[in-house]
A and B are shown apart, each in its own frame.
Chain A
C-alpha cells in the first residue's frame, strides 16, 4: 500500500498515458464487441459448428473500413479457443490479400502454417504445382469426423479474387463443399460487391452467407464510447488519481464545445479508428503540469486532424509563388477550368505587376519560371498529359490542383500578406 501511495503525480500521469495509448494504438480487443451482438452470435455459432461438428462452412464478413470486422473475428476466435472442445482441435490459417498477392505465395503460407510435411523450419519445398497438389491431397485425405478442422481467414478477401483463375478460392470453397477435411473459410472485405468479383464456379461453391457490419451507432452511444475509452480502469494503482481523471473525463464529455467537436467527427465518419487518432492526439498533450484532459486539448487535436493538407503547404510558399497561384486561379475563372501554360500565367502576373502592384518588384522571367517549377514539384500544378510531348516547358499545359476556397483561405491565413495581393485575389477580374 505504502508503495502505491508513494506514486508521485508524474508517475501517475505517465502510467495513465501509457495505459490509454496502449488502448488506442494497439487496438486491444474489447471484452465484447460494441453493438454487434447478433453478428457475433452468428459467427461464433458457425465456427463452433465447424470446430465441434466438423461441418464445413464459408462466410464473408463485409463492412466498411473501420467497422470492426477484424475486431469481431478476433473476439469470436478468442471465445472459440476458450471452448475446451475447440481449443486443441482447430487449426487456424491466416492470410491477407495484401501480403499473399498471388496463389503461389498464399499456398506456401498455408502449407507453412499447417506444418505439412514439405515444410522444414519456415521453408516450404516444391514447386507451385507440387504445393497445390500437396495441399489438396492433404485436405482430401481428411474426413469430416476425424481430422482437425481448419479455419482459413482471408483478410482483404476481394484481393484474392484477382488471383489468376481464382484457383485458391475455388479449391478452398470446393473443399468446404465436399466431404473432406472440415474447413471454415472466412473472408473479410469492405467491398459490398465482392460476390460479383467471384467467378461463377467459385460463386456457386460459396455458401452466400454474408455478415454485414454496418454501424448503426447513435451519437449518444458514440459519446459513451469516447467516455469509456478515456476512462481509467478500476484496477489503476492510484485510485485517487484515477477517480479524479475519470471525473474530469465525464465532465469533459458533457461540455458543449467538446460535444460539438465530437459531433463533427461523428458526422464525418462513424468508425473508431479515426476517433482513436483524435483521442490519441489529445491524450498525448497531457503532462505533469497539465494533468487532466481539457477541451483545448481536444480542440487542438481536432484541428490537427481535420486540417487541410494543401492549405498547410500553401503557408510555406513565397509571395511570388502565391502570386502565381492567384494568377492561375484567375485564369481558371476566366477560362472556366481549361488548362493553361506558364506563358499565360506569366502574362497574368506581369499585368498585375504593371497595373496594381505597389509592393512587389518586377521579377526576371527565369526567376518566375523557377518559382513555377517549385509549384510543379509540390504538385500544386500538374501537367495535363504526363509530359511525353515535346512542347517547350513554357507552353506545356497545366492544371491547378487547388480549390477556389483553399486559395482564399490560405491567403487569409498567410502571415504578412501584402494587401494589394489580397485585393488582387479577391477582385473578380484581373
Chain B
C-alpha cells in the first residue's frame, strides 16, 4: 500500500462535474454524480463518481478509510459537499479483541465490507482523497497475487460481531438518482501490471466479474421499475428472511445441481447461481413471477435497453440504508448473463490444464457451498482426492522454482504445508498455483512472511528467547513478546482449609462480586453506560484513600458493561487503562493511549498530535473509548497540558471519549489544577469513603465464601482495628492472611477448633501495627543504651530537643563511669551514635560534622525511658 500523505497538506480543490442530476426539494439538496478533485501541482484532475471506491482522510495517514461512494450532494448554499458512503474497514480498524475471529492472518491488502447501521455514513466531501481499486474475491478463492499494491481485496463482511461471507451483490452501489451506468469504469481504473499471459487471464476474469457486477446494477434498476409498488415491503421481508437463512438449505443446492449439472460453470457463476436461487425463490413467492420467464427476460436484456428502461422508470425515494434490497434484485441478471461469458474465459485456459479445470468446476459447487459447512460431507471425499492430486502438482512446481531463488523457498515450503493443513481455501490456492507459475513465487514469499509472523506470535514463552531470536533482531524489542518463563512444575493447589482461606484472602484473588460498593458501582455504571449509548463523551473524577476499591469498582463496571455489549444491549466500546504510576513521565500517557488504541508506536509529541487528530476529526465509525486514568495526580506537569488534553478531548463533538480518573485526594482538582483544567474536568465527582468495620467484615466474609476458617470475634476484631486506623481493605486482608499463618504454626500444639481465633489475630495485629522501636532499644548493646540515656540527660540539661555530639559525649562518659564501665573514646562514641542513627532511633546530621553533629531523638523520651527501665 502506498502512503497517502495527507500530512503534506496538499491543497485539494473539489469541484462538481456537470449539472446536478437530481434535486430533493424537501431537504434542499442537489445530487451530483461525480466530483473532480484537483491537486495542486498536478495537471490532471482525479474524478470520483458514484459507485466508485474512494479513500477518505482518516486518523492514520498510511491507512486512510476506504468506502464506496453512494451519493454526492450539496445543500442549498452549495458550499458544503457531502458524500454518502458504504464503508469498508481494514483489519487495523477492527477492534483488537475481535481480530482473532477471522481465524487467519489478514491479507495486507484485505479490507472488509462494513455493516453497521449505527455508523454514520455521511462525510464531508472534501475529505475524499481519491479513487482506489477494490476487487471482490470470493470466500474460497485465494487472494490474487502479483497485482499492484494499490488494489484492495474484499472477501468478507464485518458486522461488528463476526466476519461473514460477503455477497458480491452487496458491493453494488444502490441506484442513485438518474445516474448513467459507469460502464467505462472497469477498464479505466484497472491497470494490468504485467503483460504476462497468466496474469492477463486472471485480470480478464476479474473484469468479467466486474462486468457482470455492473450489468447487475443496471438490471437491478430494471427490477426496481418492474415492481416498484410493493418493493419496499417486499424487500424488507426479504432481507429479514435472508438474514435468518444464514446457510442456504440443502434443497437449494439440489435444485441448482438439477438445473445445471452439465454446465461447465466457474465458481463465481455458481455462487451467483446459488444466491440467485435463494433470492429468486423468495422473490417469486412475493411477486408471483415464474422463474423461467424471468430468466429468459434477463438474458434478453442488453445494456442499451436497460438504459432506456432505466430512464423511463419512475424514480423511487432511495434511502442509503437499503443497499441490500437492490442487491438482491440485481442477482437475476448477474446470474443469467455470466455463464456464457465465463465459458469463454474457461476456454482460454491452456489445454493441458483443461482436465483439471474440468474437475475444478465440478468441484466448485461444493466450495461455494462451503459457507454451509454442515452439508459438506459428501463432497469432502471428492475434494480430498483432488487436493491430493493438486498438492502433488504444486509441490513439483515448487521444486522447479527452487533453483531460481533459494532464499524464498525454504520459507516457502513450510508455508505450503501450513496452507495444506488448514481448510478448503487451500485448494483454490493450489489451483491458482497451476495457473500462474511466475506469480506463484511472489505468493510463496508473501505467505512465508505471514507464516513467519505467526511463528513469532505463537512462540512459546520458554527461557531461551535471547539466544534464539534476539541475535537476529537485536534492536526490535517492539516485536518481542515479553513474558516470564513458565514453571516446570505446576503450582500446588491449596491443601487444607487454612490454605484455601489464605488463597481467597489474597488481595489478588478476584472476588465474585464487590460488596459494599453497590451505590458507587451503580453511579459509575450509569454514567458510563449513558455516555456509551449516547455516543457522547465526559469526564468523571473518583477519589478515595488507598485500598477503598476505586480501581476494582471501575474494573467491575467495565466488565459488566462489556458483558452487556456482548449481548448487544449497548453499543460496543473500547476500554483503555493507563496508570500514572506505571509510566516514567507524564507525557508517556499519550504514547500508552495511542499504543493501546491503535497499536502504533510514537514519540510523546507525535502521539499527542495523532490523538488530538483522532479525537477531533469527525470519523464516522468510531467506537466509544472509555479511558481509565489511574493515579491522576502523577500526570501533573508544570503546564498541565497532559491533564488539559485528557479532559479536553471528551468535550469535542466527535470524540466519543469517556474519561474516568482516579486519585487519592478529594480536592485534587482545586489543589493542583489550574482553572482551565479543573473546569474541563467538570463536576462529576465521586468519593469513596474508607470502609467501615461492618463493610470490612462483609468483605472478608464474602471473600471467604463459606470457607470456615475464622471465628466471628476474630473477624470483628480485625475489621474494627483496621477501620479505626485506615479503612484500607488491603490491610485487612493482609492481617487475616497473616493470622491464618500464625494459626497454622500454633495449630500443631493444642488448638482445638483449628479456626483462626482471637489470639492469632491479636498476634498478627501486634506484628503489623506495634512499633518496633521499643524492642529495638531493648535489644541494643549496653553502650547504645547508655548513649540514649546520655542524649536524654543532655536534653534535660539543655531544655532543648537537640544537642551536639560533643555535649552528649560528655554525658555519655559520665554515665559510663557511673555504671562502672570503661569510658568509651570519641571514635567508639561516634560509632555507637552512627549505629543508632542508621536504624533511625536518632536523627543525625551528616557525619563529617564530627563533634558538632546535632542529635535528635526519633522516639519519644518516654518510650526510651520505658524501654530502658523494663530491663
Contacts and interface: CB of A to CB of B under 8 A. Distances in A.
A45 B494 CA distance: 14
A144 B776 contact: no
B664 interface: yes
Interface in B831-859: 831-832, 835, 838-841, 850-852, 858
Interface stretch (A13-21, A54-62, A231-239, A287-295): A54-62
Chain B CB within 10 A, most for which of A55, A89, A91, A264: A55
Nearest to A41: B745
Contact of A200 (B489, B545, B772, B784): B545
A147 interface: yes
Contacts of B835: 64-65, 269
A142 B486 CA distance: 8
Interface in A76-125: 85, 88-89, 91, 103-104, 114-120, 125
Contact of A165 (B463, B545, B634): B634
B503 A53 contact: yes
A193 interface: yes
B233 interface: no
Contacts of A192: 772-773, 776, 839-841
Contact of B768 (A209, A403, A406): A209
A250 interface: no
Chain B CB within 10 A, most for which of A117, A128, A145, A311: A117
A403 B806 contact: yes
A171 interface: yes
Interface in B717-740: 728, 730-731, 734-735, 737-738
A6 B738 CA distance: 59
Q: How large is the interface on B (under 10, 10 to 19, 20 to 34, 35 or more residues)?
A: 35 or more
Contact of A203 (B546, B584, B772, B841): B546
Q: How large is the interface on A (under 10, 10 to 19, 20 to 34, 35 or more residues)?
A: 35 or more
Contacts of B492: 52-53, 85
Given A120-B466, A147-B486, A201-B581, A306 B825 contact: yes
A138 B488 contact: no
A268 B781 contact: yes
A268 B783 CA distance: 5
Interface in B431-472: 461, 463, 465-466, 469-471
A308 B825 contact: yes
B508 A144 contact: yes
A165 B475 contact: no
B859 to A, nearest CB: 9
Interface in B304-335: none
Contacts of B800: none
B489 A201 contact: no
Interface stretch (B17-25, B345-353, B477-485, B674-682): B477-485
Contact of A88 (B489, B508, B591): B489
A141 interface: yes
B487 interface: yes
B781 A141 contact: no
Contacts of A144: 491, 508
A47 interface: no
B782 interface: yes
Nearest to A90: B487
A53 B581 CA distance: 28
Contact of A56 (B461, B508, B831): B508
Given A146-B490, A307-B827, A406-B826, A118 B839 contact: no
B176 interface: no
A401 interface: yes
A150 B730 CA distance: 22
B781 A306 contact: no
Contact of B477 (A85, A126, A309, A382): A126
Contacts of B244: none
Interface string B794-818: 0000000000001001000100000
B685 interface: no
B292 interface: no
A117 B840 contact: no
A249 to B, nearest CB: 24
A205 B478 CA distance: 30
A269 B783 contact: yes
Nearest to A141: B483
A333 to B, nearest CB: 13
B482 A149 contact: no
Nearest to A114: B484
Contacts of B485: 91, 147-148
Nearest to A265: B781
B486 A146 contact: yes
B363 interface: no
Interface in A164-202: 165, 167, 170-171, 174, 176-182, 190-193, 200-201
Contact of B779 (A125, A135, A182, A215): A215
A226 to B, nearest CB: 16
Contact of B838 (A65, A126, A167): A65
B502 interface: yes
Given A138-B482, A167-B581, A307-B827, A146 B477 contact: no
A191 B508 contact: no
A136 B494 contact: no
Contacts of B499: 53
A49 B766 CA distance: 23
Contacts of B28: none
A311 B825 CA distance: 10
A228 interface: no
B508 A310 contact: no
B545 A129 contact: no
A267 interface: yes
Contact of B474 (A125, A133, A146): A125
B584 A403 contact: no
B486 A148 contact: yes
Contact of B502 (A55, A129, A212): A55
A288 B486 CA distance: 58
B585 to A, nearest CB: 7
Contacts of A103: 584
A191 B583 CA distance: 28
A204 interface: yes
A64 B838 contact: yes
A207 interface: yes
B470 to A, nearest CB: 5
B506 A56 contact: yes
B824 interface: yes
Interface string B755-783: 00000000000011000110110111111
B631 to A, nearest CB: 7
B585 A208 contact: no
Chain B CB within 10 A, most for which of A63, A65, A115: A115
A129 B781 CA distance: 47
A115 B494 CA distance: 30
Contacts of A191: 838-840
8 contacts: A120-B471, A138-B482, A144-B508, A191-B839, A204-B547, A214-B779, A267-B783, A267-B821
Interface of B: 461, 463, 465-466, 469-471, 474-475, 477-478, 480-494, 499, 502-503, 506-510, 545-547, 581-585, 588, 591-592, 631, 634, 664, 728, 730-731, 734-735, 737-738, 741, 745, 767-768, 772-773, 775-776, 778-784, 806, 809, 813, 821-822, 824-828, 831-832, 835, 838-841, 850-852, 858
Interface of A: 41, 45, 52-56, 62-65, 85, 88-89, 91, 103-104, 114-120, 125-126, 128-130, 132-139, 141-142, 144-150, 165, 167, 170-171, 174, 176-182, 190-193, 200-201, 203-205, 207-210, 212, 214-216, 264, 266-270, 306-311, 382, 399, 401-403, 405-406
Given A64-B776, A85-B492, A129-B584, 15 more contacts: A53-B494, A55-B503, A114-B484, A117-B481, A118-B482, A120-B474, A145-B491, A148-B485, A200-B546, A201-B546, A203-B546, A269-B831, A306-B828, A309-B827, A401-B850
Which 9 residue pairs across A and B have the least CB separation, nearest first? A204-B546, A214-B779, A117-B480, A138-B482, A118-B477, A54-B491, A308-B825, A267-B782, A179-B508
